[in-house]
């Protein structure tokens, strides 16, 4: 039995706004699985449906083999969730935040105290457990929220943008804690992120999500290999003419125009650059910069969507606002 099963899942808000548009997905037990995409892509709405916080418009969604619509209470007992927005009480200590959450799940006092000590040790906050949460750094608060999501020992843990707003060093600390709890307890972890490096580092498999649809699902390494070679990215003054020139290159597998640049995937890409630059100069194309690199998840995202995730963030901001307004009606 899979940890998560989704078939033709849809969520529409007022006026036919499609936040999730008929997705299919299966997540294995014990897997760290990532939903990768920009704000407004449908990642958080998908998590909210799986966590029974929002009911689907149509389709099937099961968590731990339990249908989210027919038995939401049983689903809630087998999941934990760490929200994108902070949800701690800053006027309680770290230990008190955990104790309050454990009481909500009806965990007896003796067992409650043991579990609190266990999760505090896991996220390395035992020495600061009796400090007020308002004195914690952003990374410490995130670790405390992860500990709180584990207190009732869920089978599935949802992490919605778990490192949003944290600096690069703190993000890496959080990544190590996520890996540790997955390895120690075998918990299935579903995380949403728009950080390419985060998805690459943490996830056994990744789904690329945009405009409410899943465009590709596979291991990060397989997704990168699918591009068929290294990637040349040229920043130019005429991307259309450069793309036409790239199509004449022998061995060019994939060509994408985005953000005033042209990306070309091909084997032996380095050897093709000198000739490409000469031809570009002959056509009057001004090449501002050239970058040669191994494929990244950013390149994969560009391949499937035609834009960088930053471009999508800009174009999706209005969609995200519309979804939020529709939820509130």
CATH number at residue 250: 3.30.70.100
* Same domain membership, residue 166 and residue 63: yes
* Same domain membership, residue 233 and residue 103: no
Taking the C-alpha atoms of residue 154 and residue 150, their distance in angstroms, rounded to an integer, is: 6
**What is the total count of domains within the chain?**
2
Torsion over CA: 298, 304, 307, 309 (sign): negative
Taking the C-alpha atoms of residue 148 and residue 101, their distance in angstroms, rounded to an integer, is: 7
Taking the C-alpha atoms of residue 212 and residue 100, their distance in angstroms, rounded to an integer, is: 36
* Same domain membership, residue 237 and residue 114: no
Give this prediction's pTM. Answer: 0.85
Q: What is the span of the domain harbouring residue 236?
A: 228-294
For residue 311, tell me if it sits in a domain: no
Segment (H or E) for 270: helix 269-282
* Same domain membership, residue 206 and residue 140: yes
For residue 41, tell me if it sits in a domain: yes
Per-residue pLDDT in tens (0 to 9) along the chain, 329 residues: 799 999 999 999 887 789 999 999 999 999 999 999 988 899 999 999 999 999 999 999 999 999 999 999 999 999 999 988 878 999 999 999 999 999 998 999 989 999 999 999 988 999 999 999 999 999 999 999 999 998 998 999 999 999 988 888 888 989 998 998 899 889 999 999 989 999 999 999 999 999 999 999 999 999 999 998 899 999 999 999 999 999 998 888 889 998 889 999 998 889 999 999 999 999 999 999 999 999 999 999 988 988 877 666 655 555 555 555 555 55
For residue 34, report the phi and psi dihedrals to the nearest 5 degrees.
Answer: -110, 140
Taking the C-alpha atoms of residue 100 and residue 96, their distance in angstroms, rounded to an integer, is: 6
- Pull the structure tokens for residue 187: 């918990």
Helix (H, G, I), strand (E, B) or coil at 37: coil
For residue 319, tell me if it sits in a domain: no
Taking the C-alpha atoms of residue 147 and residue 26, their distance in angstroms, rounded to an integer, is: 26
Number of helices and strands in the chain (H, E)? 12, 14
* Same domain membership, residue 199 and residue 54: yes
* Same domain membership, residue 91 and residue 183: yes
């Amino acid at each position: 039995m899979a940890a998560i099963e989704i078939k033709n899942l849809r969520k529409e808000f007022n006026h036919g706004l499609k936040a999730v548009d008929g997705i299919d997905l299966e997540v294995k037990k014990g897997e760290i699985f990532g939903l990768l995409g920009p704000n407004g892509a449908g990642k958080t709405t998908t998590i909210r449906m799986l966590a029974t916080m929002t009911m689907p418009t149509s389709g099937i969604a099961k968590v731990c083999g339990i249908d989210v619509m027919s038995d939401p209470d049983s689903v809630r007992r087998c999941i934990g969730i760490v929200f994108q927005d902070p949800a701690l009480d800053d006027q309680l200590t770290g230990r008190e935040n955990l104790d309050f959450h454990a009481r909500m799940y009806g965990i007896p006092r003796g067992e409650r105290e043991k579990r609190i000590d266990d999760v505090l040790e896991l996220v390395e906050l035992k020495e600061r457990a009796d400090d007020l949460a308002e004195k914690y750094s952003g990374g410490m608060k995130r670790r405390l929220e992860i500990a709180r999501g584990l207190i009732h020992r869920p089978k599935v843990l949802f992490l919605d943008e778990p490192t949003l707003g944290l600096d690069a060093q703190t993000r890496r600390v959080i990544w190590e804690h996520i890996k540790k709890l997955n390895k120690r307890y075998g918990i299935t972890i579903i995380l949403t992120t728009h950080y390419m490096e985060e998805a690459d580092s943490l996830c056994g498999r990744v789904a690329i999500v945009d405009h409410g649809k899943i465009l590709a699902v596979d291991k990060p390494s397989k997704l990168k290999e699918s591009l068929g070679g290294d990637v040349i990215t040229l920043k130019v003054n005429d991307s259309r003419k450069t793309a036409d020139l790239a199509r004449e290159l022998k061995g060019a597998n994939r060509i994408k125009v985005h953000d005033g640049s042209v990306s070309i995937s091909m084997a032996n890409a380095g050897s093709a650059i000198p000739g490409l630059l000469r031809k570009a100069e002959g056509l009057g194309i001004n090449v501002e910069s050239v970058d040669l690199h191994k494929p990244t998840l950013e390149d994969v995202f560009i391949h499937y969507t035609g834009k960088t995730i930053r471009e999508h963030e800009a174009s999706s901001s209005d969609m995200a606002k519309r979804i939020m307004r529709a939820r509130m009606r």
